[in-house]
Structure 1
């Protein structure tokens, strides 16, 4: 490896000079790179020499573009048999948010400052882009975070293929740990009456629900199952004798039956006697189908998530007056209302709080580990991050006064 000065004259006869790094990479191929300053050439030579010895060097001329690396990543995800909805989300991140901004850039140029600048452009939008299909517009903070994760995954895949040496997104994450902690201080915890229906609201909804709607609502409230798990629930996974449901599958957004979200998603949930009785009665009236589902469509197929919201969940909330003002009026001038909890996940939140609340407060008083299992969370940290503030603190005044008295005697 050598660093040499090169001099030449341009068309106007002006003498120019540059510094050229000549070297052979780990594959024995001759490479060179030109710099305006000797110190930059020396720094590159030193770094490249180490990379060649380690067998990790990737010449800029041989570097793939971010778009090419992203396409390889999508192929890897497809080969890993990720869910269709997940693949679609990853493809959207790549094609709608990454490629329009940095798709033509070489991977060798993707450094920490480069990634930081890209995320800033994404957050602020860029009117200079040639496209006019929405890609110029500013992205939300949530979308920027999601795209950053996907870009990091693209770089990790490229790193494993030997296309790059370092993952700039991971390095950026380490350098911004303090900022992330600061941002976490402003994150809102799930709250009763905001994200979690109150006991009175759930009672009102159960009272207003009839027929299939009531069976579905009771199952969601007393099992905490995800919407996809409820849509994919089979009668063969419901043991009415043992009073338990075993989650073995789920239905995705494309009506396809597949495995639960994670290994922890496979779990057994005990049932209250009232739900067992209700399910036993519903089984006699439930539409039959090859899939043997508990909550199917009329022909026995997988029910759509949007249909459940529109036909089952929202009407029950309206009937139970679990609503919020929309700020609009109808044709008679009366204020209109909407369902207070638009998503079914609110019922899962309620089940978690019911499991956590003390028996004195009408709950089950279960430990964090048991709650984790009931919800099918992959880690206890996930359970505590979302619901940790709902668990009893254990430091009531009587206990503290007694402990203090022991020290002051």
Structure 2
């Protein structure tokens, strides 16, 4: 039977101290103690502990592990399930740079929803909304694994949400003139890749993993069935939504037919392989292809240092590319939105798992200010008629 008793003592400085000591037995019948500064905290805790003991999910503080230790367990489990190396790397980065520094020393038995909310607030102060969301999701998964192992009674992060800070930048989209300049400057090696990216919105990993068997020239479609990670390993899309079929126009069909005649052959049958037919390294694709192409096309800006252009050995300004490869995906999405493609279809073509994700990224583009003004005027006329 659990009990609470008052404990008093004199500190070394002569000050009288008071605390409330909970005396209880855990699920194994072992006697345990836990001390509180306030009686109401002891009362609240003993009620919760009694419920946990009755359900067989109670973990005493002395037997609990820290968030950092639980994170290590979670990652080891992911490794044992042969998750992609890139996924494991991301888990480790979230653990090492965002979770452990802020909350890693906290014992699971002492972790509360309020502390998780504080953790999220600390992240939002210095990180983006997206990164904060990823760190919170990782913490929740850590607690799910810990609960499965009996290391914690509940997932206190389950109901915590990331409140949007409003600091996220809108996506940067190349202009039509810039896209035309890129295609005009691209040689036979890079034009098929860039054109396909612009007109299909495929991610770089999906383009690098695209196979000829997934290109239907007759039906004018491209199916996404696999992707290449940063280690050049091929595997299935990360989510069910990633598997999709996208319609393509004559420009893509014609360009890919020409490219297929000179595309390097390889065992994987890739559409955009490296020079020997193997998976193309993402870094090489940028440094040898997309970045130099932007410089050639004039889609670039002077590199600055202390507000002044950096000059090369010949006294000319050093130019840097204006966009990352993902900007081509944004260009495709922007074009589809302007064509009034319905939101559900847009979400499917982009491979997003929910309409909410599409709205979160491209919602500002979907808003039609002229249409809003027209509807507001009509409503006003109706009300004042």
Under TM normalisation by the shorter chain, which class is it? 0.7 to 0.9
Partner residue in 2 for 1:330: 312
Alpha-carbon deviation of 1:67?
2.7
Give runs of aligned pairs for residues 256-275 of structure 1, distance below 5 A. 256-275=233-252
Aligned to 2:146: 158
Cα distance in 2 for partners of 1:354, 1:313 equals 21
State the Cα distance separating 1:319 from its structure 2 match: 1.4
- The 3-state SS of whatever aligns with 2:356 is helix
Matching residue of 1:367: 342
RMSD: 3.3
Contact 2:128/2:168 (CA < 8 Å) preserved in 1? no
Where in structure 2 are there 5+ consecutive unaligned residues?
Answer: 305-309
Q: 1:340 to 1:5 in 2, by over 3 A?
A: closer
- What residue number does 1:127 align with? none
Residue 107 of structure 2 is matched in structure 1 by 106
Q: 2:170 corresponds to which residue?
A: 189
**Cα distance, 1:9–1:298 mapped onto 2, change above 3 Å:** closer
SS of the equivalent of 2:371 reads coil
Output aligned runs, 1:249-260, within 5 Å.
Answer: 249-260=226-237
SS of 1:196's partner is coil
Q: Is the deviation greater in 262-271 or in 2-11?
A: 2-11
Cα pair distance change 1:215/1:45, threshold 3 Å: closer
1:355 aligns with 2:331: no
Aligned twin of 2:65:
64
Worse-matched range after superposition: 58-67 or 90-99: 90-99
Aligned partner of 2:365 in structure 1 is 390
Give the Cα separation in 2 of the matches to 1:207 and 1:249. 30
Q: 1:277 to 1:54 in 2, by over 3 A?
A: same
* TM-score, with structure 1 as normaliser: 0.80
Q: Using the alignment, how far apart are the partners of 1:232 and 1:325 within structure 2?
A: 33
User: Does 2:266 align with 1:293?
Assistant: no
* Structure-to-structure mapping, 1:3-402, within 5 angstroms: 3-4=4-5, 19-35=20-36, 40-99=41-100, 102-112=103-113, 114-115=115-116, 140-141=127-128, 146-170=134-158, 173=160, 180-181=163-164, 183-184=165-166, 186-190=167-171, 195-327=172-304, 328-341=310-323, 343-358=324-339, 365-391=340-366, 393=368, 395=371
* Distance (whole Å) between structure 2 residues aligned to residue 47 and residue 302 of structure 1: 55
